[in-house]
Chains A and B, each alone.
Chain A
Amino acid sequence: MATTTASKVIGDTESATTPMVVGQAPHWYTRLPLHIVIIAISVLWLMPTVALLFTSVRNIQDINTSLWWNLLWAPHQFTLVNYRAVLENQLGSVSMGRAFLNSVFITVPATIFPIVIGAWAAYAFAWIRFPLRNTIFLILVGLQIIPLQMLLIPLLRIFTQLHIYGSYPSLWIAHTAFGLPLAIYIMRNFMSGIPYDLLESARIDGANEFSIFLRIILPLTTPAIAAMAIFQFMWVWNDLLIALVFSGPTTAPMPVIVRSLVGQYGSGWQNMTSAAFISMLVPLIIFFSLQRYFVSGLTAGSVKG
């Protein structure tokens, strides 16, 4: 029953954090092959990031003369010179600090808008009867196959006509529009798993649609909302394409500035490695602080009832 699922996730933190063990735990050696495969995949997956990290803490001479893992047996190579270069120097039109703030100004609203709008839409698609409800929903989800790149030029023309090109709102609108279908899809599936009895019960108790949405549906949808928030935040924070097209000289977020480092310094690409790590910091913090919701949200709506 969805009631128990929801209550497990929301009401009972203990059962949500401790892994569920059904019956007796298998012996460690029966799981060994699985663990080896998982560790191998993880190592493979982490390798580029670790290489990036090691490179970012070596100076350009060391980088050019030896491979990155040499740091392991030559710890004296460790230096923060690349980080100092990125943080202290004016890069292109804006400083790294300003770019960081730009990223925050762009990402926070561009995460909140699709979730707020999407939650309303998801509620309507899940629980309000109106003509062509399922058809509209299908179109909404289906239209995601249109590649983002096709929409850049039309959007650019609209923004220019509205005189908002290069401003924060143009980036908010673009990210909200591109993020909404997935937000609606995930939250709608999660909401339709909430037992209808809860809504009817609230309705008999005198709650109107707004109260039901605010007091019953939203709290019970927290796992899906959190998962969606993480997805959207990471996507917007790391986005280069939309930022490159729609941001202006004063509104450029970090990925745009990081990319400009190569052009700025010609062969000074080592600064990119440290800049990339600085820009990764926030998503990493967000991910680790919300990973509990992230995992439960990925399976959200997959099992109904």
Chain B
Amino acid sequence: MADIQIQQIRKTYARGQEPAVRDVDLTVRDGEFMVLLGPSGCGKTTLLRLLAGLERPDSGRIAIGGTDVTDLPPRKRQIAMVFQSYAIFPHMSVFQNIGFGLRMQHVSRSEIQQRVHHAAELVQLGDFLQRYPSQLSGGQRQRVAVARAIVMQPAVLLMDEPLSNLDALLRLQFRAELKKLVAELNTTTIYVTHDQVEALSLGDRIAVMRSGSIIQVGAPMDVYDMPATTFVGGFIGMPPMNFLDATVVSANGHTTVDLGGQPLDAPDAVRDLAGGDVTVGIRAESIDVWDQQEPSTMPARIEVVEPLGADLLLTVSVGRQQLKLLTRNDFPARPNMPISIRPQQDKLRWFDAAGERVAPAG
């Protein structure tokens, strides 16, 4: 069993600076694929390095498989790591690279042979074992880095943006391979990325980080559907979630908000914000659109039309606010065209002035 318990971990690089990781709690289940997602500088790589033992925390504890590893050096943590820069040794052949860790642990020659070949087959490098890194392509080098990690049969596999140095097509291909590989190995995996598409497609769960703190942990579709804050909603999804500012109006025991001339029923939780500002979030695909006037809709005007293949991405203005919506590609859209839109009521997400979601709860 190799679950991970992170308790109140804090790391500050230099005195007087903001902590890179502030009092983070995180539990990763055995065999789970956890993605740490956030913009650059949010502390996700620092958290990974703390787990690896490459950094020492100021405070807090880390346990892997029930053993407190906070004070253990990297080599005693039963972890393996794939670096963003591959970090493979240029003076060693692919075979020597993959077998390096096993040699360091004094594994017998025959077992090294067998395990290196097995790992190389898994990442489709079986025919390249005698090559040197300078004779490999970027994708092949990344495979060597992955093989180096999995050959160790670690309790926990750590990956620091392993795909970010690959070109787009290769990234797409390798992403699927990686998902299959990790699923087969069933190793607890922590994967750091700033790419929300990668996070959504790979992770069993995603932990979204910002300014050294974890803001939300959940299954990819839950995080996408129910962002805990406007930051999460804006960071995850392409296009990002739309946010419309509105003012809460309470009259006759009925709470509504005014969105572009169309009053919307607000949930109970919003009532407490009466007289205050509220932010309404809605995903681009959760807005219905008509090319003519419809009852109980909002009038809007198309500003930009972007065909995306299967869908059209429309940028429309509603009153003084702008939002993006997706519609089927046969919608007769052209710039400056007046349209009617209606957000799907059950897809509305309500945030307070601080950006925290107040409704729906949970």
Contact = CB atoms under 8 A, between A and B. Distances in A.
A7 B104 contact: no
Contacts of B74: 200, 203-204
Contacts of B132: 7, 11-12
Interface stretch (B80-88, B226-234, B298-306): B80-88
Interface string A1-26: 10110111011100100000000000
A137 to B, nearest CB: 21
B90 A6 contact: yes
A197 interface: yes
Contact of A195 (B54, B75, B87, B152): B87
B228 to A, nearest CB: 33
Contact of A203 (B75, B90, B134): B75
A10 B91 contact: yes
A192 to B, nearest CB: 16
A112 interface: no
Contact of B134 (A11, A195, A219): A11
Interface stretch (A54-62, A101-109, A205-213): A205-213
B194 interface: no
Interface residues of A, number: 27
A6 B91 CA distance: 8
A226 to B, nearest CB: 14
A201 B83 contact: yes
B128 interface: no
Nearest to A15: B134
A220 B132 CA distance: 14
Contact of B90 (A11, A200, A201): A11
Contacts of A1: 85
B104 A216 contact: no
Contacts of A262: none
A198 interface: yes
Interface residues of B, number: 28
A201 B87 contact: yes
B79 A204 contact: yes
A207 B85 CA distance: 19
B302 to A, nearest CB: 47
A120 B84 CA distance: 29
Interface in B64-93: 73-75, 79-81, 83-91
Nearest to A218: B91
A201 B75 CA distance: 10
A205 B101 contact: yes
Nearest to B105: A206
B148 A205 contact: yes
Interface of A: 1, 3-4, 6-8, 10-12, 15, 195, 197-198, 200-208, 211, 215-216, 219-220
Interface of B: 52-54, 73-75, 79-81, 83-91, 100-101, 104-105, 132-135, 148, 152
Given A200-B81, A204-B75, A205-B104, 15 more contacts: A11-B90, A12-B135, A15-B134, A200-B52, A200-B87, A201-B81, A201-B83, A201-B87, A204-B53, A204-B54, A206-B101, A207-B104, A208-B75, A211-B104, A215-B100
23 contacts: A3-B85, A4-B134, A6-B91, A7-B132, A8-B134, A11-B91, A11-B134, A12-B132, A12-B135, A195-B85, A197-B84, A201-B83, A201-B148, A202-B100, A203-B54, A204-B74, A205-B75, A205-B80, A205-B148, A206-B104, A207-B100, A207-B104, A220-B91
